[in-house]
Amino acid sequence: MTFDDVLTLLAAASITLGLSVAGIALGLPIGLGLALLRSARLPVLDQAIAALVSLVRAAPIVTLALFVFFVLPEAGLELAPIPAAVVTLTLNTAAFDCEIFRAGLAAFPRDQLEAASAYGLRPATRFRRIVLPQLWRASLGPLVSEMTIVLKGTPAVAVIGVVEITRAAGRIGAQTYEPLPPFLAATVLYTALIAVLVRGQRFAEARIARRYGYAVS
């Protein structure tokens, strides 16, 4: 493995990071929206979202990526590999985020909601000022776990031709006939990326514990 190969891997790491960040940033609000829609208990829509979330959660990311890349063009939506990869990761993580937020919303203390209504807060204000700040603090742990899963899921989108860390490592291995060193280097890169996320979570948890006096585990 030459110095150039290391640079190739680092460039691929930026693709992995970009894909993950895009998927997470898009997936979070979509997941929250789906969870809120479900908590409204609208007939038909509720069951439709539940079925969709169950199906997407059961779909392997590889299969989902192949589906998005090959099937959406038939519906007239032609996507280049990178946008298709972002759509795949977003769909996947949105379904899991939806379940995390739904659990958080279900566990939200009822008396607080009623108190807010009694004070005349409109539902939108109540959500923004009362529910959301506590919801995100309670969901932080599972959400970060889900983010690490997204990061670890990015190699799956290599099947549709995105050159991220794992695929770049595979290419270097094919060129040098020594697949092991690039794959071990890739392992170090992933471990570093995920360690940063987990550290960030611990840091945020410590701040929350200091400010609000309860630890969110």
Which residue carries 């570093």 as its tokens?
A: 192
Longest dimension (CA), the chain: 70
Please identify which residue in the block is written with the tokens 């697949």: 179
Contact predicate 167/213, CB 8 Å: no
Give the nearer residue to other proteins in terms of CB position, either 1 or 116: 1
If the CB atoms of residues 62 and 208 are measured against other proteins, the closer one turns out to be 62
What is the nearest approach in angstroms of other proteins to the Cβ of residue 74? Answer: 6
Query: How far, CA to CA in Å, does 89 sit from each of 105, 128, 180?
Result: 24, 27, 27
| Of 6 and 180, CB closest to other proteins | 180
- Which whole-number Å values give the CA distances from 150 to 19, 32, 49, in the listed order? 9, 17, 21
Triad 27, 32, 34: Cα angle to 5° = 95
Q: Using CB under 8 A as the criterion, which residues of the chain lie in contact with other proteins when the complex forms? A: 54-55, 57-64, 66-67, 70-71, 74, 148, 151-156, 158-159, 165-166, 169-170, 173, 179-180, 183-184, 186-187, 190-191, 194-195
- Give the residue with the Cβ less far from other proteins, 17 or 194: 194
Quick one: angle between helices 45-58 and 81-106, nearest 10? Answer: 120
69 vs 101 by CB, closer to other proteins? 69
CB 65, min distance to other proteins, A: 10
Measured from the CB atom, the residue of 25 and 196 that comes closer to other proteins is 196
Task: For residue 79, count CB atoms less than 10 angstroms from its CB and return exposed for 0-12, middle for 13-18, buried for 19 or more.
Answer: middle
